Structure 1
Amino acid sequence: MQLDRRTLLLAAGACAFAPGLAFAAPPMARPEDVGFSSAKLKALGAEMQALVDQQKLAGVTTLLARKGKVVHFESHGVADLATRAPLRTDHIFRIASMTKPVTGVAMMMLYDEGKWALEDSVEKYIPQFKGLKVKAADGSLVDQASPMTMAQLMSHSAGFDVSAGYEGANLQATDLQGMIDKLATMPLAYQPGTDWRYGPSVNIQGYIVEKLSGMNLNEFFQTRIFRPLKMVDTGFYVPAEKAARVVKVNTYGPDGKIIPAPAGGDPTRVPTFWSGSGGLLSTVEDYWRFAQMVANRGELDGVRLLKPETAVLMRRNVLAPGVKVDLYGPSQEGVGFGMDFAVLMDPAAAGTPMGLDTHWWGGAFGTWFWIDPTNDIVFVGFIQNLRGSIPGGGTPPMRDITPRLVYAALENPKA
């Protein structure tokens, strides 16, 4: 179901937002003003509605902007399969690993303040990691060939294993300090810089943000990022008055159709482990504001969080030659990794219509976004499915479907 935008904004205005912050609708433009065809862009909304009608999705919200102007912002379907409550553009989603780029920006803000450098060793900031051994192929423990660097930590190539490699360790049982203490007793899975593995690296970054800033990660995010950017509905938990706006999580039945998932965690519970890897909840519009800031090279609405050259640095591949991003297997061709963003280095090899240097990430519940500096495009899409980002898990391949539709509608890239 597609709802009228005026109705959506009136509904949003009636909801509780963060104290002291006023809701501001994003600037809208006619698609033709920024190079899109209105007729062709309707295919994006039509395809989202079709996925709902086919019971492949419960609901989906998508936002497309070019040159900072929003040309598409729609919700389709329901927020709760049980109650059939319509999905609105102000609904709140669990964004899981889309937390990681936020942590990356926090790190780079401290980088701009001169508090660390890419070539610094991680042990400079986490002395407990000094002298960590590496588990060799034969099971023996050997020294690091060279100390892990901060650039490697921010690109998942510092030597830490994939998350599944730490299942028995229960790294998030207490707090970030407890995680560090446990990791300090465990060997690295590979020599720093020689592989890419998606594990605890960004939670480790969260610990470093806390240590260098003197704030816990929640305080840093709220005071240094969310409030300045007017991200009024983003945080590690929601207040009780916003709980009804949190979208229910879904899964798939034996027939491949969408059904409610078993009840998950309480989104109003205040966590003890501030997970920079995957703890945030947000709205599509809030996350667009964050992504647009990055697209604008560190600035939004007169508020600057990053130096322009630092925002560009975040999308520079820092993986060593031959090291490939391998999130789900096989390795992703034409893709590198920068400061908590995947980076498109070769669109043809990657088989995508996105422009060179597009940077992106997604979340476990199927949320996704990309920033295309070549075409000055920002796209954010949210769904809420268990295993929603895993190919073959039942969820439609939203990260392939939406770029195809978006770039097919871009008729005049020079506009």
Structure 2
Amino acid sequence: MTTTMDRLAETEKTMRGFVEQGVIPGAIIAWRDGDGPVRYQAAGTLGFDRSTPVDERSIFRIYSQSKPITAIAAMMLMEEGIIQIDQPISEILPAFADMRVMVGEDPADTRPAARPITIRHLLTHTAGFGMGGMTLDALYTEHGITPGDPQTETGPKSLAEMGERLATLPLATDPGTQFDYSVALDVLGLVIQVASGMPFDTFLQQRLFGPLGMVDTGFSISPEKVDRFADLPEEQDGKWTLVDDPANSMYAAPVYPSGGGGLVSTAHDYARFAAMLLNEGELDGVRVVKPETVRLARSNLLPAAVKEVGLPVGHPLSEVGMGAGMSVSLADSSSTQGLFDWPGDVPAGVFGWPGMAGTACWMDPNRNFFLLYLTQFSPSWLNGAMRPDMIAAAYRDLQAAE
């Protein structure tokens, strides 16, 4: 489908409304419809107390939008035959060979896992791991496994140490039996590091970021880029404070590269990643992954026994499967104006994943359309209807143009 559409009027109005109401300091959307160019529209500034306007080179913490990038990196190794989707990860990371599963609430009360953890389980959050704020929160916090907080004093000092600690802890469920949002994509980063024979962040730079021209995407922020780095504000008792100040950011020197949530990026960069996926692995004449690999990545890869995806714990998503580190809409859905039914009002086949600070990217291969939305606020549930409102507005814009 080819189109000359160069505006998403209602989507832009919706985004601008959030800024004008003081809900967020600033935001940007990037989109491409059909074979047209990537377009951008921004509103507001990099912080409530800053005058620098948001643009396509502004740098944002994308948190869990790191997961699809990590997953695609793993798919690259898969198409090269270095790893396989149903391969036990213990063949690459021997420490995970004899995992145990909690019987009740006591981590000391365990039994052997029914089956090995596989690459598929990591890609789809069905390995039995947990994460901070969700399943196994207290256990992981006790052992310093909090990848979203890379500066924790008691935490591991390398990706390898993170894996070593995690392998000693019991699983919440047998692998392949339940979706639990988890540190699985951080473990996948370690798999990539060991299987490829190079540091995980180096692999991403050489195989994805460099070839795609993603010049501002990485796990740290350098001093010369701080003036483009957005504030991360948090509302507490009706007042805004800074969770992460760009001038003194935890991203200046992260302890290890978190494949599940450690990347920063820009609208320019992430739009190139999204466009590459819609182009089935190629961008501007550079192919980074095969078409069949992309099609597999955006298909439902959940193990047969897993029938439900929930985010967070206890909140099932309707008609949603999991591909490679990202959700896949299995049927046409309608917006419910709530966080727990992300991605909201979208047709079947739409894939992507959001980030903890309000960001999201939706990719629609049937229409050859993507919408990227970048902003920064905390906590993530504060404006639960924001992302569904944005994507619902985008599809109304598209329908109006037809």
Q: Any idea what SS the aligned residue of 1:402 has?
A: helix
Q: Any idea what SS the aligned residue of 2:212 has?
A: coil
Number of the residue aligned with 1:56 = 23
Q: Quick check: 1:337 aligned with 2:325?
A: no
Whichever of the two has the greater Rg, that structure is: 1
Q: Quick check: 1:194 aligned with 2:188?
A: no
C-alpha distance in 1, partners of 2:6/2:226?
Answer: 38
C-alpha distance in 2, partners of 1:348/1:180?
Answer: 37
Q: Quick check: 1:261 aligned with 2:230?
A: no
C-alpha distance in 2, partners of 1:354/1:133?
Answer: 39
Would the aligned equivalents of 1:243 and 1:267 in 2 still touch at CA under 8 Å? no
Could you tell me which amino acid in structure 2 is paired with residue 370 of structure 1?
W
Number of the residue aligned with 2:341 = none
Match for 1:155 among 124, 132, 154?
124
**TM superposition shift of 1:322:** 4.5
Instruction: Give the 5 Å matches for 1:10-21.
Output: none
C-alpha distance in 1, partners of 2:323/2:228?
Answer: 34
Number of the residue aligned with 1:348 = 333
Instruction: Give the 5 Å matches for 1:87-236.
Output: 87-137=54-104, 139=106, 140-164=109-133, 165=136, 166-171=140-145, 172-236=155-219
**TM superposition shift of 1:47:** 1.8
C-alpha distance in 1, partners of 2:118/2:2?
Answer: 45
Number of the residue aligned with 1:297 = 280
The alignment yields a C-alpha RMSD, in angstroms, of 2.2
Q: 1:33 to 1:125 in 2, by over 3 A?
A: closer
Q: Any idea what SS the aligned residue of 2:78 has?
A: helix
Number of the residue aligned with 2:265 = 282
Number of the residue aligned with 2:148 = none
Question: Which 5+ residue runs of structure 2 have no aligned equivalent?
Answer: 146-154, 337-343
C-alpha distance in 2, partners of 1:378/1:248?
Answer: 25
C-alpha distance in 2, partners of 1:341/1:412?
Answer: 28
Number of the residue aligned with 1:21 = none
Deviations 1:272-327 (A, max 9, x none): 31111111111011001011111111111111111111101011212234431111
TM-score, normalised via structure 1 length: 0.85
C-alpha distance in 2, partners of 1:59/1:35?
Answer: 27
Could you tell me which amino acid in structure 1 is paired with residue 316 of structure 2?
S
Q: Any idea what SS the aligned residue of 1:85 has?
A: coil
**TM superposition shift of 1:334:** 0.3
Q: Percent identity among equivalent residues?
A: 31
Moved more, 49-58 or 317-326: 317-326
Instruction: Give the 5 Å matches for 1:234-253.
Output: 234-252=217-235
**TM superposition shift of 1:353:** 3.6
TM-score, normalised via structure 2 length: 0.87
Q: Any idea what SS the aligned residue of 2:301 has?
A: coil
Match for 1:323 among 307, 310, 314?
307
Number of the residue aligned with 2:392 = 404
Number of the residue aligned with 1:6 = none
Q: Any idea what SS the aligned residue of 2:333 has?
A: helix
Query: In the comparison of the two structures, how many residue pairs are matched?
Result: 375
Deviations 1:344-367 (A, max 9, x none): 112237864422221110111111
Deviations 1:76-119 (A, max 9, x none): 01112213332222111111111111111110111111011112
Match for 2:36 among 54, 69, 92?
69
Number of the residue aligned with 2:47 = 80
Q: 1:89 to 1:281 in 2, by over 3 A?
A: same
C-alpha distance in 1, partners of 2:34/2:250?
Answer: 34
Would the aligned equivalents of 2:277 and 2:294 in 1 still touch at CA under 8 Å? yes
C-alpha distance in 2, partners of 1:218/1:65?
Answer: 28
